[in-house]
Amino acid sequence: MLRSFVSRPTLGRISLSPRTVGGALSIHCKWVTTEAVNNEVQLVRHTGADQGILTLSLHRPKAKNALSRSLVSDFRKALEEIRNDREARVVILRSTVPGVFCAGADLKERATMSPAEVEQFLYSMKMSFKELESLPQPTIAALDGAALGGGFELSLCCDLRIAGPRAILGLPETSLAIIPGAGGTLRLTRLIGSSQTKALVFTGRRFGPYPALSMGIVNDVVEPVECMDEKNTEEHGLGYERALEWAREILPNGPIAVRMAKRSIDHASSVDPATGLDVEQLCYAQVIPTEDRLEGLRAFKEKRKPVYKGR
Ligand code: CO8
For ligand 1, the distance from its centroid to the CA atom of residue 106, given in whole angstroms, is 7
pLDDT at 82: 97
Q: What is the percent of the chain where pLDDT is above 90?
A: 81
**CA separation, residue 228 to residues 94, 95, 167, 263, 272 (Å):** 21, 19, 16, 41, 49
d(CA 250, CA 258): 8
- Residue spans of the chain under pLDDT 50: 1-33
Query: Active-site residue 164, yes or no?
Result: no
Task: Output the CA 255–ligand 1 centroid distance in Å.
Answer: 37
Element housing 206 (H / E): strand 206-207
Catalytic residue among 35, 81, 109, 173: 173
Structural domains of the chain, ranges and CATH numbers in brackets: 13-250 (3.90.226.10), 255-302 (1.10.12.10)
**Closest to 132 in 3D by CA, of 97, 103, 160:** 160
Residue 224 is predicted with a pLDDT of 85
Binding-site residues, ligand 1, Cβ < 6 A: 63-64, 66, 99-100, 103-108, 122, 125-126, 146, 148-150, 172-173, 176, 180-182
Nearest to 148 by CA among 193, 108, 94, 184: 184
For residues 79 and 56, give the distance between their C-alpha atoms in angstroms, rounded to a whole number.
Answer: 9
- What pLDDT sits at residue 130? 97
Q: Note the pTM of the prediction, 2 decimals.
A: 0.88
Residue 66 falls in the annotated catalytic set: no
pLDDT of residue 234: 62
Q: What is the C-alpha to C-alpha distance for residues 60 and 80, in angstroms, rounded to an integer? A: 20
Of the residues 40, 62, 64, which should be mutated to test ligand 1's pocket, given the most ligand atoms within 8 Å of the CB? 64
Q: Which of 63, 88, 105, 257 is catalytic?
A: 105
Active site residue 150: yes
State the Cα–Cα distance between residues 197 and 202, nearest whole angstrom.
8
Q: Whose C-alpha lies nearest to ligand 1, atom 40?
A: 103
Of ligand 1's listed atoms, the one at least distance from the Cα of 64 is: 21
**Beta strand pairing status for 168-170 and 206-207?**
antiparallel
